[in-house]
Amino acid sequence: MLPIAVDAMGGDHAPSAIVAGAVRAARAGIPVCLVGDPERLRIGPGWPATLTVEPARDTIEMDERPIAVRARPDTSVRRTMAMVAAGRASAAVSCGHTGAILLAAVLELGTMDGVERPALATVLPRRDRGRLFLLDAGANVDCRPELLVSFARLGAAYACSEGVERPRIGLLSNGEEERKGNQQVRATLPLLRASGLHVVGPVEPTSALAGACDVVVCDGFVGNVFLKAAEGAVDTVVGLLREEILRYRTGRIGAFLLRGALRRFRRRAAWESTGGALLLGTRGTVVVGHGRARAPAVENAIRTAAQFARAGRLDALRHYLHR
Amino acid sequence: MLPIAVDAMGGDHAPSAIVAGAVRAARAGIPVCLVGDPERLRIGPGWPATLTVEPARDTIEMDERPIAVRARPDTSVRRTMAMVAAGRASAAVSCGHTGAILLAAVLELGTMDGVERPALATVLPRRDRGRLFLLDAGANVDCRPELLVSFARLGAAYACSEGVERPRIGLLSNGEEERKGNQQVRATLPLLRASGLHVVGPVEPTSALAGACDVVVCDGFVGNVFLKAAEGAVDTVVGLLREEILRYRTGRIGAFLLRGALRRFRRRAAWESTGGALLLGTRGTVVVGHGRARAPAVENAIRTAAQFARAGRLDALRHYLHR
């Protein structure tokens, strides 16, 4: 198997957390190629043989504008994408800033036929045990209605490639009534209804998470708020639960007996550990990790990329997009 | 104490759920006046004496446009507001549609000096045990930057009136960096910084819920997505937890010992039961309940209104807004 190319310099805790996550993934049998400054990525004695380094002497800092990648082909994020484009890696992973990753991917990999701009897609657990495919989760803001319709097509193809038959598409809104929504939503709805996709109409976050649709489409600004509000609310609730449990002795005994359930619960509810979002619509598999990712989250993002690449999902996605 | 005027005809489960909630509140000692179709609101033999009825022969249906209230002064939502305006009720409660409530409140009560449009404010629990004042939570969409600044002023005054000293204001965005955000956020930030308020800058939902600010300001479309994504995520997580707990016998024993903690947790985490959002900036206390409210949520909305009215918070809010 070709290695997963990992941008070692992108993310709040790069390169240390990225390297640590890559070592974990490599030990678990996934070949990984770290892309970055070779001075800061010297292979240590304990590194697994499945971990290699590809030099990239330039780095995009978190406070730079994404457009900066355009003139700098030797940045780690562009070299990461270039490895996939050259057939030297099976997928790319970066925890750097989303805008720079998007632009680097477009420059090095190009977009699929008929795709104007790639979208960031993330998968959330639904209350009915299904999965909610949310896009755009933060790659494009202030989108035209036509762009939202193309996100719906990408999302439908993604859901199909993941085994969802005839995915139901919802347009994120502040109410289920047609006359609700902002200008963007009201302008998009008729176009979406005319798209030939299985459109259920405007949906609210609550009903989407309860199972009203399989794919929820929105502007990247709004999608990012959706994702992070859900994440933040879960963190708050888990914190409250811990406090309540530790308050009394019966609670602590109960918690001891419950520890298995709580552990599984944490795993299922840990939105962050799901391993990053997929950039859909480029000619290659690109996983965008959380900017704040530590080693376990980096490892998960690499696992996500490897699974996607191994299963040939990109071909399936292309197939469903163009049929 | 003057009664709380309650729009008996607004909401998905009106009038039955509204009446049931009003009966509960009245039994708990809060005088309530139900406003609506007298044919459908006949006082039953078991009704407490503190529950009265004010006739309003017209009703705005959920699928009507909010603007319809303009020409129809005899709708239940307008009569509810009119009771407050006439000094016959201390506060108004409605679970009808937000747009209609907003317009009815502006028509009957008017806005406070310097307020162009009222905003819907809601309070969320933060991870650091503080409270997050979120506005606009859904009353105004596609807001101009100046409107967002006025929401910040209203939110700051609200937080002050609730005892928060020098509230920290965050502008909701998809990243903490200044160059992130959509056009609306980027246009608002300089105006907000020049407002004299204590502005911390752009904030993400995760950091806002973790305690990075006291007041988070946003467009009503985005604020509604924030609120409902948080609500939906909490519902999903509580559902997962229940499943995990019931899976094994030790889990069930543990859950028995934990039942006190779980009950308190449910109460603290039940975002819906917090009792509705406050419409800020009108010359009267107006509480907007959840459209899907059942009797307990209606009772809570009435309690919220009564507490606010009793404590003279509206005067405090006006004081902080104009000092």
Closest alpha carbon to B170 in B194, B134, B138, B118: B134
**Which of B:69-108 have CB within 8 Å of A?**
97
Distance separating alpha carbons of residues B285 and B84, to the nearest angstrom: 8
Ramachandran region, residue B294 (left: φ > 0; alpha: ψ -120 to 50; beta: rest): beta
What digits encode the pLDDT tens for the residues B19-58?
999 999 999 999 999 999 998 887 777 788 899 999 999 9
**Any chain A CB within 8 A of the CB of B118?**
no
Query: If you average pLDDT over residues B284-304, what whole number do you get?
Result: 92
Q: Do B209 and A219 count as a contact with CB atoms less than 8 A apart?
A: no
Interface test with chain B among A132, A148, A206, by most B beta carbons within 10 Å: A206
Phi/psi for B106 (5° steps) reads -65, -45
What pLDDT was estimated at residue B135?
A: 96
Predicted pLDDT of residue B197: 97
Q: Give the per-residue pLDDT at A223.
A: 97
Looking at the complex, report in whole angstroms how far the Cα of residue A212 sits from the nearest Cα belonging to chain B: 12
**pLDDT-based confidence at A272, cuts 50/70/90?**
very low
Is residue A220 within 8 Å of residue A136, measured between CB atoms? yes
Determine whether the interchain pair A251/B268 forms a contact, defined as Cβ–Cβ distance below 8 Å.
Answer: no
Q: What is the pLDDT of residue B292?
A: 84
| Rounded alpha-carbon distances, angstroms, from residue A292 to A162, A306, B41, B108, B273 | 27, 21, 56, 49, 33
Q: Higher pLDDT residue, A248 or A268?
A: A248
First to last CA, chain A: 29
pLDDT tens-digit readout, B63-114: 788 899 999 999 999 999 999 999 999 999 999 989 999 999 999 999 999 9
Identity of the highest mean pLDDT range in A44-48, A212-216, A264-268, B39-43: A212-216
Contact B235 A142 (CB under 8 A): no
- As given in the structure block, the two tokens for residue A189 are 């709805």
- In chain A, whose CA is at the least distance from the CA of B206? A232
3-state secondary structure of B129: coil
Q: Which has the minimum average pLDDT: A73-77, A183-187, A243-247, B88-92?
A: A243-247
- Contacts of residue B262 in chain A, CB cutoff 8 Å? 244
- pLDDT tier, A263 (very low <50, low <70, confident <90, very high otherwise): low
pLDDT higher than 90, residue B134:
yes
Contact at CB, A224 and B174, closer than 8 angstroms: yes
Decide if pLDDT at B260 tops 90.
no
Is residue B236 within 8 angstroms of chain A, CB to CB? yes
Residue B230: is its pLDDT beyond 50? Answer: yes
Kindly tell me if the per-residue pLDDT of A321 is higher than 70: yes
CA distance A1 to chain B (A): 36
| Contact of B8 with B34, CB cutoff 8 Å | yes
- Contact criterion met (CB < 8 Å) for A233 and B230: yes
CA distance A31 to chain B (A): 32
Q: Do B233 and A230 touch (CB under 8 A)?
A: yes
CB contact under 8 A, B232 and A205: yes
Cβ of B126 and A255 within 8 Å?
A: no
Distance CA A242, CA B218 (A): 31
CB contact under 8 A, A225 and B174: yes
**Cα A261 → chain centroid:** 27
Q: Is the pLDDT of residue A131 over 60?
A: yes
| Distance, CA of B106 to CA of B117 (rounded, Å) | 8
Q: Which of B206, B247, B272, B290 to mutate to test the interface with A (most CBs of A within 10 A)?
A: B206
Could you tell me the CA-to-CA distances from B111 to B71, B80, B99, B105, B319 in Å, in that order? 19, 16, 15, 8, 15
pTM of the model: 0.92
Arithmetic mean of pLDDT over chain B: 90
Which residue in chain A is spatially nearest to B181 when comparing CA positions?
A221
| Selection from B105, B98, B115, B70 nearest residue B84 by Cα | B105
Is the pLDDT higher at B321 or at B292?
B321
Per-residue pLDDT at A197 exceeds 60: yes
Band of pLDDT at residue A264, cut at 50, 70 and 90: low
Give A67-71's long-range contacts (Cβ < 8 A, gap of 24+). A67/A103, A68/A100, A69/A100, A69/A103, A69/A104, A69/A107, A70/A103, A70/A107
- Provide the pLDDT for residue A291: 85
Q: Is the pLDDT of residue A271 over 60?
A: no
- Point out the residue among B63, B65, B126 whose CB comes nearest to the CB of A236: B126
User: Which of A213, A244, A267 has the most B C-beta neighbours within 10 Å, making it the best mutation to test the interface with B?
Assistant: A244
| Mean pLDDT, residues A217-230 taken together | 96
Higher pLDDT, A270 or A182: A182
The string of pLDDT tens digits covering residues A282-308 is 999 999 998 888 899 999 999 999 999
In order of A112, A176, B322, the CA distances from A319 in angstroms are 11, 32, 61
| A292 and B CB contact within 8 Å | no
Write out chain A residues lying below 8 Å of B177, CB-based: 62-63
SS (H, E, C) B207-267: HHHHCCCCEEECCHHHHHHHHHHHHHHHHHHHHHHHHHHHHCHHHHHHHHHCHHHHHHHHH
Indicate yes or no: CB of B225 within 8 angstroms of CB of A227: no
Choice among A49-53, A186-190, B12-16, B255-259 with the minimum mean pLDDT: B255-259
Q: Tell me whether residues B226 and A225 touch, CB distance under 8 A.
A: yes
Helix/strand/coil for B110: coil
Mean pLDDT across chain A, nearest whole number? 90
Is residue B255 less than 8 Å (CB to CB) from chain A? yes
How far are the Cα atoms of A65, A79, A116, A148, A150 from residue A169, in angstroms, in the given order?
33, 35, 20, 12, 12
How would residue A257 be classed by pLDDT, with cut points 50, 70 and 90? low
**Chain A residues close to B187, C-beta within 8 Å:** none
Tokens of B149: 């600044």
Residue A134 has pLDDT above 60, yes or no: yes
pLDDT tens, position by position, A67-80: 999 999 999 999 99
Q: What is the pLDDT of residue B42?
A: 76
pLDDT band at B312 (very low <50, low <70, confident <90, very high): confident
pLDDT in tens, B163-187: 999 999 999 999 988 888 999 999 9
Average of pLDDT values for B219-239?
89
Residue B272 pLDDT: 46
Is A244 in CB contact (< 8 Å) with chain B? yes
Instruction: Report the share of chain B in percent with pLDDT over 90.
Output: 69
Shortest CA gap A241–chain B (Å):
6
* CB-based contact, B268 to chain A, within 8 Å: yes
Residue B201 at interface with chain A, using a CB cutoff of 8 Å: no
Q: Of chain A residues 26-45, which have a CB less than 8 A from chain B?
A: none
Q: Do A265 and B254 touch (CB under 8 A)?
A: no
Q: Beta strands of chain A (E only): which ranges? A: 4-7, 32-36, 51-55, 91-94, 119-125, 131-135, 169-172, 199-203, 215-217, 277-280, 286-288
